[in-house]
Each structure stands twice: as structure tokens, then as C-alpha cells.
Amino acid sequence: MPIVIGMFFLLPLLLGLVLEYLCCRLPRRRIWRALPPVLGVVLTVLVGVGRWNLWESETVSPVTQLLIFPGVPGTALLLGCWLGWRLWRRIWRPRVLDGP
């Protein structure tokens, strides 16, 4: 069970965090900051559409299968992107110090 949680949730979470932090930190243009979340949404939708089109089972609902596989990793990837952006803002945001 921990391997499944790590593979389907923690790995996309860390991947999103690292990609978003690097896209916020290294390039100076704002358009790069939107790249990881947009790619995450596009990849999740493409995997969901592909799984929907290949669906042939009569016993299991396709909605549950679409929520489990592309839904959980996609949500973790977007959460990782948000956490990476927050980490970048916390580290590199200008701080205002009040003088004595």
C-alpha cells in the first residue's frame, strides 16, 4: 500500500513541486510559471480521455476508474505545483524590515 501511495500521490506531488519551483526560480518571465500547471492539466485530461475511449468493462464504473488513475495523480501534480509556487514565494519574496 505505501508503494501505491508513493507512486500515485507522492511522486507527482514532488514532481510538481520541483518543476514549479524551477520554472519560477530560473527563468525571469512570468509565462514560464504557468507552464507546469497547464501541462499537468493537459496531461491529466489526455490520460482521462484515453482511458475513457479504451473502456470496455461492464462490471466496473468508468467514473471510478477515471477518478482513481488520472484523477489522483493529476490532483497531486497540481497540488505540488501550488506548493512549489508557495515555496518560491516564501524564499524569494522581498521582506520589509521595520527599523528601530
pLDDT per residue rounded down to tens, the chain (100 residues): 778 778 889 999 999 999 999 999 888 788 888 999 999 999 999 988 888 877 777 777 777 777 778 888 999 999 999 999 999 999 988 888 877 6
pTM for the full predicted model: 0.82
Q: Where are the domains of the chain?
A: 2-92
C-beta atoms surrounding 13 within 10 Å: 21
Let me know: does 98 contact 33? Beta carbons within 8 Å. Answer: no
pLDDT given at position 20:
93
Q: Which of 18, 19, 21 is nearest to 92 (CA)?
A: 21
